[in-house]
Structures are given as C-alpha cells and as structure tokens.
Chains A and B, each alone.
Chain A
C-alpha cells in the first residue's frame, strides 16, 4: 500500500469540448443550476492552426469545476453513429464500452438527488435511468454534447473494510493482469489468497 503523502484536493477542473455552447449553458446553468464561475476568451495562436476559443467553467460543488472548450468555426468530426461529440464509434462497439466513460457528480441526500431529477425531468434532457447500485443510487442522462452524466448519492457511508477489500481487489487484479490467465476466476482465486494472508490480522484504521 502506498505510504506517499496524499495532499491533492479533489478535481480542480475536468474539460470537454462542446459544439453546442447554447445547449451546454442551458443544461448546466439553467436546468441544473450550476453557476458559471470562470471563463477565458482566447484568440487562436501558436504553431498549429488553433481556432479562437472560449473556455468556460461551471461550479459543480466542493469548489470543483466542469469546463468546456468552444472553438469558433470548427466543425465536429463526423464519423461513427454512437458516442458523444468527442468520441464517436461505429455500431459494432458495444454500448457498455461507449457508456463506460462518464462524469458522476455527488449529492448528499435522497432529497437532493430527487431535486436534480425534477430539474432534469422538466427539461429537454429528462432522466433516462434511475438505479440503486451496490451502495449508491444514481440518476443518468446525456448532456447536449452526448456526454453521459450521472448524479449520485451514497446509500450508506463506506465502511473501513471496504477500503481493505478495494486494496485486495486491486492487488489481485495487478497480479492477474500480469499473468497468463486474465479472468474473473483467476482474480477471485488470487484475492482469496490475499484475504488469507492479510485480512485475518487487519484492524480498522482509526479515522
């Protein structure tokens, strides 16, 4: 387990391109109510033929920010029939892979989750799916750019033993991924060995 000092403080910003700035502002600012907190209006410069662009930021809570780039005069690449404006795929790529990359934004309560559901359902981007996973409950929709967006709440606090379990899973995965049999069966066998080695003497860390 890593003993390095852990001093980072969450997501400063994550950035995506948009070709629909009006829809993007409508979705994030006007429907979801995420304040606009920063923007950059930049003329294109540099060795590449860089278009003029607007870089704009929404506050997604916790001082974290979701940012977009809008490039004047640049049309999105037209290829593939599924995916979002940044990543397009042909029909042979399964949906589980296309939908695997997504942004999940945290809320603290069921009340808050249902309030964001109400806002989305009253817009042109209604909730497509609401589901209870293992320990979280989430709502999903696609934003005007086709990006898959999740809003999620914890059904209960994460327990200390789940941190241990996550570490054993990841160690087992790294071991199995280097070996000849990369399978769930091999992972569960390796993880059982790690449970026997490391779980018996485990004590929950003082939090």
Chain B
C-alpha cells in the first residue's frame, strides 16, 4: 500500500484535496498529519493544487513503504516499494 504523510497546515490542504479526488485514494488523520493512502500509485497534479513551487517541493512529511518516482513542476507520483 502506498502511504504518504502531509502536515495539516493551510498551504498543504489544497494538495490533500486534489489527492483525495482520486476514488482509489483514502485520506485520514494521524495526529496533525494527513495520511494519504492507496493500493495503487498516488499521482497529484501540481497545477490542480495551485501551489507555488516552494510549498509543493516541501509538502511531503513522510513515506511508509513507498517511494517518490516523480516530483517536478507537473506532478508528484508515489509508488509502493
């Protein structure tokens, strides 16, 4: 399972909302962190989030049994290891 953590701060909530639009993705909370999970890779379109680059490139707090295979101006792709 792909699992990605993001801290619950105002800058990150649009990213979590975009990730949550994928029906295969589930989002819950672990303390003040969002846990974004899926059985498949998680792909988040940066432009859909409206995030500026500084926010985008510092938004990932943790990865459980997962790895980042794309993290650029277009998208973030997280896959299970």
Q: Is the CB of B52 within 8 A of A132?
A: yes
A interface secondary structure, majority: helix
For the complex, give the distance between the alpha carbons of A89 and B12 in Å: 38
For the complex, give the distance between the alpha carbons of A148 and B31 in Å: 38
B interface secondary structure, majority: mixed
Q: Which chain B residues lie closer than 8 Å to A196 at the CB level?
A: 30, 64
B27 at the interface (CB under 8 A from A): no
Q: Which of B3, B61, B67 is the most central at the interface, judged by chain A CB atoms within 10 Å of its CB?
A: B61
Q: Which of B62, B63, B68 is the most central at the interface, judged by chain A CB atoms within 10 Å of its CB?
A: B62
Query: How many residues of A are counted as interface, with CB atoms below 8 angstroms from the partner's CB atoms?
Result: 28
For the complex, give the distance between the alpha carbons of A156 and B11 in Å: 10
Q: Is the CB of B64 within 8 A of A189?
A: yes
The digit string for A62-102, where 1 denotes a CB below 8 A from any CB of B, is 00000000000000000000000000000000000000000
Q: Is the CB of B33 within 8 A of A134?
A: no
Q: Is the CB of B61 within 8 A of A195?
A: yes
Please list the residues of chain A having a beta carbon within 8 angstroms of any beta carbon in chain B: 131-135, 156, 159-162, 164-165, 168, 185, 188-189, 191-196, 198-202, 204
Please list the residues of chain B having a beta carbon within 8 angstroms of any beta carbon in chain A: 3, 5, 7-11, 30-33, 52, 54-55, 58, 60-64, 67-68
The 4 closest A-B pairs by CB, nearest first: A192-B62, A199-B31, A161-B32, A191-B62
